Structure 1
């Protein structure tokens, strides 16, 4: 844990900065990257999801934040509104399909449409070889990291069809899905399955004007990374040593890639798993 925190300090961040994910965003502008769009974001209470919520709102979107922790959601939504943005929240557990569908419905109820969705929420696994992972842990990972995005995409596509008539979806994958991942084997395998689901959805719904892509973050300063480093000290240092840029990403940097993929500036991009990894897999 201390190594991860020290890594954060090495790139000019305090622990509070990381948890708040650069909350000093500018006020939303009518000419922003996502101006006029309604955005739905899962895992929006912290980490990459919270950074995305702040960024999307600053880029002109009306955002609906979804996650399990209502306290975290309220804090991020209030921060966005205080900066002049439009935000609300819905408590959502990706392991509960009804709550996922309800959260998507809430976005349409509040804002009248759905244009873009960022399926970012995920859960981690205890690091270690695959034979040491319990069946219960694997089932939990499957429910949240693969079935959850499948349910979310199904609901989002239905909402886009019924309202905006077109749209864009981005799923959060991982560079750990693009290579052997002996310390997080189930996490990597399910994220790789999510890549396949992303590509299949892109091929299926492209003719309707619905684009589907994924971002594959490398080492990123989130609580999941800190938890991994705490259980396996030295993890962050080892990952940074494999990264040409020599550091971990701030959550905002991953959110920037997602925002571009969701925007009209990426209008001819679909079925892509975009690595945002500091060159780790170059």
Structure 2
């Protein structure tokens, strides 16, 4: 197996951290970015607020000074609830900026080394909410934009040997999920009712799907959205 240098945003906990552990176990070199550093990380880690463009540039300069990047996972994100009619426009702008602008910024920084090597992997982490779930206008619109980016970038980068895909998790037992969907809330009841496997996902299950799309074996898959949601998207919105 070829050892790759892989960059994960939002790598300090949840899906990002589980992915880092899995990839490190496969022998890859890991670089993590997030607002706060974990107690331990299986590779390089840079503490950075990705909502700050200049700070993001500085962190990316440090990453690239350590060597080329072969793969990027745009996983960092935050959630905001709100039905149309009650959407906070500042929330909308903040979510678009973090989910879309940061993904573009990080990806563009890594692209030259991928192009030079003729091999690359980009995975954008989306969400089940893009099928039209209630109460998630700002979050869902930002994640849907990421799914568009995956398709557009796949078109642009395929000839360079770079694949681009999205993974759209369903409700997953992470700190972020429970912060925005407290036990006993209407949204938790709705998500549970939609699950065809009768439970929420685990971070390591989402990480396994992302790790596959980063592998050499997934080289014929590009421009796709893999829904890892326990069947929660089968009923649409």
**TM-score tier after normalising by the smaller chain length:** over 0.9
Higher mean C-alpha deviation, range 223-232 or range 147-156: 223-232
Count residues with an aligned counterpart: 234
Q: In 1, are the aligned partners of 2:181 and 2:188 still within 8 Å (CA)?
A: yes
Q: In 2, are the aligned partners of 1:38 and 1:115 still within 8 Å (CA)?
A: yes
| Paired position in structure 1 for 2:71 | 116
Equivalence map 1:1-282=2 (5 Å): 31=1, 35-70=2-37, 72=38, 75-77=39-41, 80=42, 87-110=43-66, 112-125=67-80, 127-162=81-116, 164-177=117-130, 179-230=131-182, 233-282=185-234
RMSD: 1.7
- Larger helix percent: 1
CA distance in 2, matches of 1:160, 1:191: 24
State the TM-score, normalized to the length of structure 1. 0.78
Shift of 1:36: 0.6
Higher mean C-alpha deviation, range 202-211 or range 130-139: 130-139
State the TM-score, normalized to the length of structure 2. 0.92
State the SS of the aligned residue for 1:270.
coil
Runs of 4+ aligned residues of structure 1 deviating over 6 Å after TM superposition are: none
Q: In 1, are the aligned partners of 2:91 and 2:138 still within 8 Å (CA)?
A: no
Q: In 2, are the aligned partners of 1:212 and 1:270 still within 8 Å (CA)?
A: yes
CA distance in 1, matches of 2:77, 2:30: 19
| Paired position in structure 2 for 1:17 | none
Higher mean C-alpha deviation, range 139-148 or range 263-272: 139-148
CA distance in 1, matches of 2:183, 2:100: 24
CA distance in 2, matches of 1:212, 1:130: 31
Deviation track 1:164-194 (CA, whole Å, cap 9, x = no partner) reads 34210101001111x2232111110111111
Q: In 1, are the aligned partners of 2:126 and 2:169 still within 8 Å (CA)?
A: yes
State the SS of the aligned residue for 1:169.
strand
Q: In 2, are the aligned partners of 1:218 and 1:248 still within 8 Å (CA)?
A: yes
Shift of 1:231: 8.6
Higher mean C-alpha deviation, range 237-246 or range 47-56: 237-246
Query: Which 5+ residue runs of structure 1 have no aligned equivalent?
Result: 1-30, 81-86
Query: Which 5+ residue runs of structure 2 have no aligned equivalent?
Result: none
State the SS of the aligned residue for 2:181.
helix
CA distance in 1, matches of 2:184, 2:112: 42
